[in-house]
Amino acid sequence: DFYSLLSKLLGEREDVHVQKHNPTEKAEPDLVAEIANVVQKKDLARDIANHDERDNIILVKDRIQEFHRLESTLRPPENRHFSLQQSKHGEGSWEKEHKGDFHIEEAVEWPGLDLKLGQVSGLALDPENNLVVFHRGDHIWDENSFDSKFVYQQRGLGPIEQNTILVLNPNNAKLLHSTGKSLFYLPHGLSVDKNGNYWVTDVALHQVFKLGANSKEPLLILGVALQPGSDKNHFCQPTDVAVDPITGSIYVSDGYCNSRIIQFSPNGLYVMQWGEESSLGRSRPGQFCIPHSLALIPDLRQLCVADRENGRIQCFRLETGEFTREIKHKAFGREVFAVSYVPGGLLFAVNGMPYPGEAGSVQGFVMNFSTGEIIDTFVPLRKRFEMPHDIVASEDRTVFVGDVHAKTVWKFASAEKMEHRSVKKAGIEGQETKESETIVETKLKNKPESTDLLKNMDKQHLVQQASSTGVSFVLITTLLIIPVVVLLAILVFIRWRKTTVYGDNSDGEHKLDSSSGRILGRLRGKGGGGINLGNFFASHKGYSRKGFDRLSTEGSDQEKDEDDGSDSEEECSASPLPPAPSSS
């Protein structure tokens, strides 16, 4: 069994490090080959878990790593490359013990979801780990974009007038840089090389471009503008491009109407190609139905392709194009749109919408590259995936997904990382609170009298506040009383003046009752003893009663008379004086 084979090779001694460089007789080539076969089995973890000595699982894993280091000293150079690709742990292999703790969730605090973008077709990370977005501005790809021969039909629209390449801060989505104006018609794939150059494809132009971060004109163009083709100098709707960081070789997936991967030299010279159109029925290795996305695995010298319509991921050797493996799951459904690799052994992918009547959902996948198994799946919390078109992940397991239909970009991160960030933030806030409390306590201890001082200040403040309130009340009351007093004074003066005037007139002119109230009452004709002007003037010679007869007092006039009478009674209420003594 596996454990015993490792024990034979490595032993349980502490001189394993010496054995690694000086293999003993136990390290026979056939023994090494036998262990290599066990390591390459997909159910390796299951064999170990079901073994009687489960307590030694950690020891077994440590010895697996020791075995691979020892194996590198025993294998011939020409075979060592294959061994590392297949089974070297720590490079291209996600450690099994981390599976249970790894989970991807949307970073809901990221504001990039609110960006105003066109159809998002490509995503990448630059050397500073900034997010680079490739979008189509006001252009869209619909059924009228191409004819049956894949020739672009909307040239009259002209190139996109917006900047199609946006560089964003991955933390706050702030725009750092933009370029790509008036260059493209229908952007598609995007990658960034180790020098920060942008590599993009345009399915309408059938071309691949290399752009400098600060250059307005392309540094390199592959393909012939607006001319689809299948030879060494033409593309037909190329989908993606990748650049080997070690050799500088260029790999292009071509594409929607071709089914091949083409390799170019760093200067853009044709080197080789591989792939063919899928056959009817089950697709064989190396056959494609829209090779849609590329992911380089530099440490393992492999190139993985999202074989979109075949719903799988195929991986090939960079130097030869030889098929190495296929990753295919029922959860993928019929389509796999994009794939991205993270150093350390994690592979990320997004699938497409299931066909009508089929079960499944549009989601993201996290896979162990070594075994191909799915570690986790994820979906956004805000909005939903409609057609996730590209995916990119960083070494800290931050993931970005661009959607061509939703016209947006989501950010995802491991739940452990977001929890750590929240705890750290809460810890900082708690620390600041404790520090402020400590400062206050220290000041109070150094100055005990400050407590009494604060109390006195509070009392003074309350007294001042009460005083100010009282002053305000008195001031307002005074301002309201003054006009009333003035008005009363005016009324009293008017009343006194009227009384004086009417008193003088009655004594000097009419010799009537000196009471002003009685004079006014008689003038107004109140009571039976009032003065009748008609009779008065009729008693004198030469006058008549005409014009002095009593008028009708019905209706509203009567109401007015009553009101006037009340007013008169209110203003003139002095009692009549006793009659003057008759003259002798």
- Is 303 in a helix, a strand, or coil? strand
Q: Assign residue 344 a region: left if phi > 0, alpha if psi is -120 to 50, beta otherwise? A: left
Please calculate the CA angle 93-95-101 and round it to the nearest 5 degrees.
130
Q: What is the pLDDT of residue 356?
A: 87
Closest listed residue to residue 75, CA positions, set 39, 23, 26, 25 = 23
Q: How far is CA 78 from CA 74, 82, 247, in A?
A: 12, 8, 19
The whole domain housing 202 covers 104-422
Q: What is the pLDDT of residue 45?
A: 41
CB atoms within 10 A of CB 274: 16
| C-alpha–C-alpha distance, residues 189 and 252, integer Å | 10
| C-alpha–C-alpha distance, residues 560 and 447, integer Å | 82
| C-alpha–C-alpha distance, residues 120 and 424, integer Å | 34
Q: Token pair of 20, please?
A: 């690694």
Q: What is the pLDDT of residue 473?
A: 67
Beta bridge partners of 342: 346
Q: How far is CA 558 from CA 46, 303, 529, in A?
A: 116, 113, 21
Q: Is 190 annotated as a binding residue?
A: yes
* DSSP 8-state symbol, 152: B
Look at residue 76 and tell me if it is in a domain: no
Q: What is the pLDDT of residue 102?
A: 78
Q: What is the pLDDT of residue 64?
A: 53
Q: Is 389 annotated as a binding residue?
A: yes
Look at residue 530 and tell me if it is in a domain: no
Residues 354, 358, 364, 367, CA torsion sign: negative
Look at residue 542 and tell me if it is in a domain: no
10 Å CB burial of residue 374 (0-12, 13-18, 19+) is middle
**Interval 133-144: pLDDT, tens:** 999 999 999 999
Q: What is the pLDDT of residue 361?
A: 94
* Residue the block writes with tokens 């506040």: 465
Cβ-contact 118, 407 below 8 angstroms: yes
- Is 463 in a helix, a strand, or coil? helix
Cβ-contact 363, 385 below 8 angstroms: yes
Q: What is the pLDDT of residue 417?
A: 61
Look at residue 580 and tell me if it is in a domain: no
Read off the CATH number of the domain in which 205 is found. 2.120.10.30
Q: What is the pLDDT of residue 416?
A: 73
pTM for the full predicted model: 0.60
Q: Is 303 annotated as a binding residue?
A: no
Q: Is 256 annotated as a binding residue?
A: yes
Q: Is 188 annotated as a binding residue?
A: yes
Q: Residue-wise over 211-226: b if at least 16 C-beta within 10 A, else e?
A: bebeeeebeeebbeee
Closest listed residue to residue 128, CA positions, set 201, 210, 192, 220 = 192
Look at residue 505 and tell me if it is in a domain: no
DSSP structure string for 113-151: GG---S-EEEEEE-TT--EEEEE-TT----TTSB-TT--
10 Å CB burial of residue 92 (0-12, 13-18, 19+) is buried
In the sheet where 291-297 sits, what is the strand order? 291-297, 302-307, 312-317, 323-327
- Count of domains in the chain? 1
Q: Which residues of the chain have pLDDT under 50?
A: 12-27, 41-55, 57-58, 61, 71-100, 423-426, 428-430, 432-434, 436-451, 453-455, 458-459, 461-463, 466-467, 505-531, 533-534, 536-541, 543-584
Report how far Cα 220 is from the mean position of its chain's Cα atoms. Answer: 36
Look at residue 433 and tell me if it is in a domain: no
Q: How far is CA 89 from CA 81, 93, 96, in A?
A: 14, 5, 10
Look at residue 50 and tell me if it is in a domain: no
Segments of 435-489 assigned E as strands:
none
Look at residue 291 and tell me if it is in a domain: yes
Angle between helices 57-74 and 29-39 (to 10 degrees): 130
10 Å CB burial of residue 378 (0-12, 13-18, 19+) is buried
